[in-house]
Chain A
């Protein structure tokens, strides 16, 4: 994958806004569980959807991150989803579904997180 721009979490709003103002379209965001940290990648497409640009930042699991919904409503669903499924602490969401976008009140919490390597080792699963 080319065009990955590493940024810090506080830059996401500015950098995202810059890309959107230049005529790009928000595509989606992907969250990855890196055991200790979470890696968040925002994808933007430009030039009739052919070129992809990615903005990527890495945060600790208990850090708060800003939301892009203040700039564009297109990130609304995916940021809510990352918040629910990965426990990514997104603040200032335009519409906050409060953890019930995908999950019901009796669903498991943050189901997409992987079992921590250290814990799995101590249980003898690896």
Chain B
């Protein structure tokens, strides 16, 4: 009989970008059992949201996650606006959509690089990050900052995209599309990449639904589900249909994200061409009334849930943040058992884990 060994994988581990510990029990080289342990980065942001004034929450919640920070600020303003509810000008909605897709572009480029790194393709990692730099530059030009854009306020946005910036954005996106096209072609068709990802970590449609997975992890298993279908912001006016792959393995999840990268660029182009004229913000007085609501947005890693409850003052009664990785983490209970030790990093990365935002 093979001996069983329990090895802590993380919280400090070369392939893990963030602190999660997986207590993995191996039988020889094979994983038989796994328990995910989090709690290394809990910051109590939900509690702080109750103590802060509602418009200071935006800057706090943006820092829940460093990569999907834009979607966090969008969700928190959407949740607060829905408490009234406020009527947001159409131009604002389009601007929010454009920045959201820009954030998705840079997040997916980051992930494709990290994923390549997870199976040891380090030069691919650097190539993707080099392209990502261009996206960060256009974010800085239009929104004012590379990563923490701080561009949303309750009632609107603070920056506008004028004609000159529009042209820069379109030009840059064209370059990004051309360069990522070459690299994604390698990832999708290369023999070595395929041999490391095809058939690894298979999760069926039923399993993914039962575990409550979200985002590309769910769509990689053949479920066509996306928060953008709820038509928040300007998604109702854009031509949007979720991207689905049916295989449910690491390769399928990678393919979903690679195709979403190009879809995000298309959505930005479409939104830019349809950008209506008008106001970008409305004046807001007083605090949100006593009411409760849910805001759902699609962050790059999956569906982001904000539950907000007001009480008529400038402080919220309760703010609950459910981040995508919080929903995706139970998937390791299915993905890891039965796989080889060497495939553990690939499996974990295929979920695009973001642990610090899981713990908030």
A103 and B227 alpha carbons, distance in the complex (Å)? 31
Interface residues on B, range: 35 or more
The residue from A30, A78, A101, A103 contacting B318, defined by CB atoms under 8 A apart: A30
* B334 and chain A: residue at smallest CB distance: A73
The answer to whether A26 and B305 touch across the interface, beta carbons within 8 angstroms, is: no
Contacts of A104 in B (CB 8 A): 39
The residue from A23, A49, A112 contacting B46, defined by CB atoms under 8 A apart: A112
The answer to whether B327 and A102 touch across the interface, beta carbons within 8 angstroms, is: no
Taking the complex as formed, is B225 at the interface, i.e. its CB lies under 8 A from any CB of chain A? yes
Contacts of A52 in B (CB 8 A): 294
The answer to whether B303 and A32 touch across the interface, beta carbons within 8 angstroms, is: no
A40 and B318 alpha carbons, distance in the complex (Å)? 13
Contacts of A114 in B (CB 8 A): 50
Q: Which of B296-329 contact A (CB under 8 A)?
A: 303, 305, 307, 309, 317-318, 320, 322, 326-327, 329
The answer to whether A49 and B225 touch across the interface, beta carbons within 8 angstroms, is: yes
Per-position binary interface string of chain B over residues 89-118, scored 1 when its CB falls under 8 Å from any chain A CB and 0 otherwise: 000000000000000000000000000000
The answer to whether A48 and B212 touch across the interface, beta carbons within 8 angstroms, is: no
The answer to whether A48 and B224 touch across the interface, beta carbons within 8 angstroms, is: yes
The answer to whether A103 and B39 touch across the interface, beta carbons within 8 angstroms, is: yes
Per-position binary interface string of chain A over residues 79-103, scored 1 when its CB falls under 8 Å from any chain B CB and 0 otherwise: 0000000000000000101001111
Taking the complex as formed, is A59 at the interface, i.e. its CB lies under 8 A from any CB of chain B? no
A15 and B6 alpha carbons, distance in the complex (Å)? 38
How many chain A residues have a CB neighbour from B under 8 Å? Answer: 32
Q: Which of B35-51 contact A (CB under 8 A)?
A: 35, 37-39, 42, 44, 46-47, 50
Instruction: Write the residues of chain A forming the contact surface with B, with a CB cutoff of 8 angstroms.
Output: 1, 20, 23, 25-28, 30, 32-33, 43, 48-50, 52, 72-78, 95, 97, 100-104, 111-112, 114
Instruction: Write the residues of chain B forming the contact surface with A, with a CB cutoff of 8 angstroms.
Output: 35, 37-39, 42, 44, 46-47, 50, 209-212, 224-227, 229-230, 292-294, 303, 305, 307, 309, 317-318, 320, 322, 326-327, 329-330, 333, 359
30 residue pairs bridging A and B, Cβ less than 8 Å apart: A1-B293, A1-B294, A20-B210, A23-B209, A25-B212, A27-B212, A27-B305, A27-B327, A28-B322, A30-B320, A48-B226, A49-B225, A49-B227, A49-B229, A50-B229, A50-B230, A52-B294, A72-B212, A74-B330, A75-B212, A76-B330, A77-B330, A78-B322, A95-B35, A100-B39, A101-B37, A102-B38, A102-B39, A103-B42, A112-B47
- List 3 tightest A-B contacts by C-beta distance, closest first: A74-B212, A28-B322, A49-B225
